[in-house]
Amino acid sequence: MSANPEESGNDISGVEIVLDHVSKTYPGQKVPAVADVSLTIPAGEIVVFVGPSGSGKTTTMRMINRLIEPTSGTITIGGRDALSLDANKLRQSIGYAIQQGGLFPHMTVSQNIAVVPKLLKWKRARISERVTELLDLVGLDPEQFGDRFPRQLSGGQQQRVGVARALAADPPVLLMDEPFGAVDPITRGLLQDELMQLQAELRKTIVFVTHDFNEAVKLGDRIAVLGDQSRVLQYDTPEAILANPANETVEGFVGRGAALQQLNLMRVRDVEIEHRPTAHEGDDVAEFSARIDTWGVILDDRDRPVRWTDREHLNGVTSLKGVGLPLGEIVTTASTLQDALEAILAERNAATVVTGARGRYVGVITIETLVDTIRSLREEHEGNPPIADPLAASDDVPEPTTEGPRR
Ligand code: ADP
Ligand code: MG
């Protein structure tokens, strides 16, 4: 974390949430849907509730913003007893995102995002400024999308708007109930990456519900594995749960081949990011060409990578606009090495471009870096069965050598 108050971007804005012996029995039911849950959710972390359908994840989550009132127990948010607060006020301070964004179909994207700020009686100009800022934050062009209706958006775009709406009044706490459950796997992976990127900037307290353990491993700072009636079977970091499942039920849920998840646990930001020459679309061609040894990256006016180019591409052209080749898959600093590996194998440069906050260019990650990382991971795991070689199927990968990792 930054000690400099000027760089407050990485300071924690979230607050701690404590569930203490919380239970819920729905009216007319004999058995509680949630029985005696106690959990502390640290400020500024993503805690994922993962468990099978019917295990009471949604019920537990909705007790935090009091869409459901607990039958017994206490919930403390940022040191205040949630049950003693006005329920409407409480809900305005907690962002809530659900599957398919939960958008109001008769409202435009902008109107959807403005719902809570309007309830809070913000001035019109402030609301419109905030809507623009949020659309930008979740990667949607405000001019293009602000006046559309939800039905005119793809599932992934609706989901982004749902996240923007949940963030509208800058709440310290965000509740997300299977928010990416209804989109295709590729979009889902992208949205997960974007959420992590956002969280690196925002540092809110996020409670995220899913029944997908891989999603939990990818997103969670901590994972609460929930059984029947939301009984907490294990509550720990993804690393600890993968290494030491508390019991057979958790083990079954984690699945076999946990060692393979190694690459899912390391992030692009954990390894060496290299640099390539960059230029903006309006820059001088000859000057850029002179700086390129192998290949370089062309950025748009918001520093987002758009295309890559080698020197041959630049022969005889007068402008960098449209030159070179489109970038394939891009990863973010928060992406897993597994994602990076897949992206690299799909690129003919044997490298993939890395972006940071708001899609801005950060650098590139190369196959050499990944091979080195995989090697050192293996060495750390000597004595354990070696992890399968994820590169074995690919032709264009250097033969393993006997030399050790570079670092
Ligand atoms: P999950 O989100 O893990 O799938 P839920 O919290 O939705 O689990 O449901 C937990 C249990 O509570 C389930 O058995 C479900 O049938 C029951 N339940 C959920 N909502 C209600 C309700 N409004 N009235 C009665 N029972 C409910
Ligand atoms: Mg649910």
Closest atom, ligand 1, to C-alpha of 60 = 6
d(CA 289, CA 1): 38
Instruction: Answer yes or no: is pLDDT of 396 > 70.
Output: no
**In 79-154, which ranges are E strands?**
80-81, 94-98
Q: Identify which has the larger pLDDT, 251 or 113.
A: 113
pTM to 2 decimal places: 0.69
With beta carbons less than 8 A apart as the criterion, state whether 264 and 336 touch: yes
Starting from the CA of residue 99, give the closest ligand: 2
In the structure, what pLDDT confidence band is assigned to residue 185 with cuts at 50, 70 and 90? Answer: confident
Ligand 1 geometric centre to CA of 348 (Å): 49
Ligand nearest to the CA of 54: 1
Q: Which residues face 234 on adjacent strands?
A: 225
Tell me which residues have their CB closer than 6 angstroms to ligand 1: 26, 29, 33, 51, 53-59
* For the CA of 51, the nearest atom of ligand 1: 3
Q: How far apart are CA 407 and CA 268, in angstroms?
A: 17
The answer to whether 389 and 363 are in contact (CB under 8 A) is no
pLDDT at 345: 77
Q: d(Cα 40, Cα 49) in Å, to the nearest integer?
A: 12
Neighbour-count burial of 114, counting CB atoms closer than 10 A to its CB (0-12 exposed, 13-18 middle, 19+ buried)? buried
Distance, in Å, from the CA atom of 140 to the CA atom of 156, rounded to the nearest integer, reads 11
Rounded to an integer, the average pLDDT of 17-33 is 97
pLDDT value, residue 406: 39
Residues 6+ positions from 277 with CB-CB distance below 8 Å: 288, 291, 292, 293, 296, 297
Of 26, 99, 176, 212, which is best to mutate to test ligand 1, by the most ligand atoms within 8 angstroms of its C-beta? 26
Using an 8 Å Cβ cutoff, are 261 and 254 in contact?
A: no
What tokens were used for 162? 């749902």
Residue 83 pLDDT > 60, yes or no?
Answer: yes
Does position 7 have pLDDT exceeding 70, yes or no?
Answer: no
What average pLDDT score do residues 352-358 get? Answer: 92
Ligand 1, atom nearest to 177 Cα:
2
Mean pLDDT, rounded, of the chain: 86
Residue type, 114: A
Helix, strand, coil tally for the chain in percent (to 5): 40, 20, 40
Among protein residues, the one whose CA lies closest to atom 24 of ligand 1: 26
Instruction: Give me the pLDDT at residue 233, please.
Output: 96
Q: Which residue has the tokens 């997960």?
A: 192
Nearest ligand (C-alpha, residue 226): 1
Q: Ligand 2: distance of its center to the CA of 134 in Å?
A: 27
CA of 74 to the centre of ligand 2 (A): 21
By residue count, the chain amounts to 407
Question: Which of 24, 25, 53, 59 maximizes ligand 1 atoms within 8 Å of its Cβ, making it the mutation to test the pocket?
Answer: 59
Which residue do the tokens 């609706």 mark?
158
- Ligand 1 atom closest to the Cα of residue 209 is 2
Exposure b/e, 154-178, CB count within 10 A at least 16 = b: ebbbbbbbbbbbbbbbebbbbbbbb
Residue 196, φ and ψ in degrees, nearest 5? -65, -40
Question: Cα(32) to centroid of ligand 1, in Å?
Answer: 10
Say how many Å lie between the first and final Cα of the chain, rounded: 25
Edge-to-edge strands, sheet with 351-355: 331-332, 351-355, 361-366
* 381 has pLDDT over 80: no
Residue 328 confidence (pLDDT): 82
Counting atoms of ligand 1 from 1, which one is nearest the CA of 68? 23
Quote the ligand 1 centre to 53 CA distance (angstroms).
9
Tokens 């020459």 correspond to 277
Extended strands (E) in 238-350: 278-280, 296-299, 305-309, 325-326, 331-332
Closest ligand to C-alpha of residue 24 is 1
CA–centroid distance, 30 to ligand 1, in Å, is 13
Tens digits of per-residue pLDDT, 230-269? 999 999 998 788 777 888 888 877 764 444 566 788 889 9
Beta bridge partners of 207: 47, 175
The CA 69 to ligand 1 mean position distance, Å, reads: 13
Query: What is the predicted pLDDT for the residue at 284?
Result: 95
Question: Does the pLDDT at position 392 exceed 60?
Answer: no
Distance 394 CA to ligand 2 centre (A): 40
Mean pLDDT confidence for 64-80: 96
- 28: CA distance to ligand 1 center in Å? 13
Closest CA to 355 of 131, 198, 159, 153: 198
Which residue has a Cα nearest atom 22 of ligand 1?
Answer: 26
* Protein residues placing their CB within 5 Å of the ion ligand 2: 58
Query: What is the distance between the alpha carbons of residues 380 and 373, in angstroms, rounded to a whole number?
Result: 11
Write down the pLDDT at residue 384: 46
Residue 326: CB atoms within 10 Å: 8
pLDDT above 50 for 6: no
Q: Phi and psi (nearest 5°) for 7?
A: -100, 65
265 within 8 A of 239, measured Cβ to Cβ: yes
**Confidence check: pLDDT of 380 > 80:** no
**390-402 mean pLDDT:** 40
pLDDT at position 5: 40
- List the residue whose alpha carbon is closest to atom 7 of ligand 1: 58
pLDDT at position 263: 77
